[in-house]
Structure 1
């Protein structure tokens, strides 16, 4: 998953240069398998054996905290594994974003009165 601009400062300076490559090397540039798909071993850059889409390995934070770069908290996952693992987290993030947007709109609407 791409790093959102508002979260970029939460990642260590050596994320791209050292941490991410070390996790991908540990995994042999294959998906390490997620709780939903423990046997997934989709290989980076090749067609996914189930979906057929080109695999782009991502590095997932199991606790969703970019600051926690302990190797035990990080997994090399294909898009399928990462998206399924993060599904609930994405729903919660969308809900909070919607609430903020609605609050801002309410302030804006009130300013016109």
Structure 2
């Protein structure tokens, strides 16, 4: 997955080399997901870089996911070579949480008041 320009400083300078090493040497061009994404792969995901995804049929572009969602943490055990499907499914809950915080911060910055429903009960 491409890194957004505003997030590039969150990754180490040698991220392209680290990512390439994980995808090609360790994973040998195959998704390493064994259910991290919530799908039952019956072992390891069968998606291979450049081939049609066995689930979606779209061309696989192997990516590298950070299991703890921290781009600076490039320890091998925190990285997972993943097809787009597995990567997006794994990151989904984190993306929803981040988006909700971003929306709330934007509303607060615009002067929007919030109601604490728990305090009113």
TM-score by length of 1: 0.86
The count of residues paired between Structure 1 and Structure 2 equals: 106
Deviation digits for residues 59-110 of structure 1, max 9, x if unmatched?
0000000010001100100111111111110111110110121122228xxx
Give the structure with the higher percent helix.
1
SS, match of residue 106 in structure 1: coil
Asked whether 1:13 is paired with 2:18, we answer: no
SS, match of residue 58 in structure 2: coil
1:22 corresponding residue in structure 2: 21
Cα RMSD of the aligned pairs, angstroms, is: 1.4
Stretches of structure 2 that go unaligned for 5 or more consecutive residues are 113-121
d(CA) in 2 for partners of 1:13 and 1:84?
27
d(CA) in 1 for partners of 2:14 and 2:111?
41
Stretches of structure 1 that go unaligned for 5 or more consecutive residues are 108-113
d(CA) in 2 for partners of 1:2 and 1:96?
22
Asked whether 1:49 is paired with 2:48, we answer: no
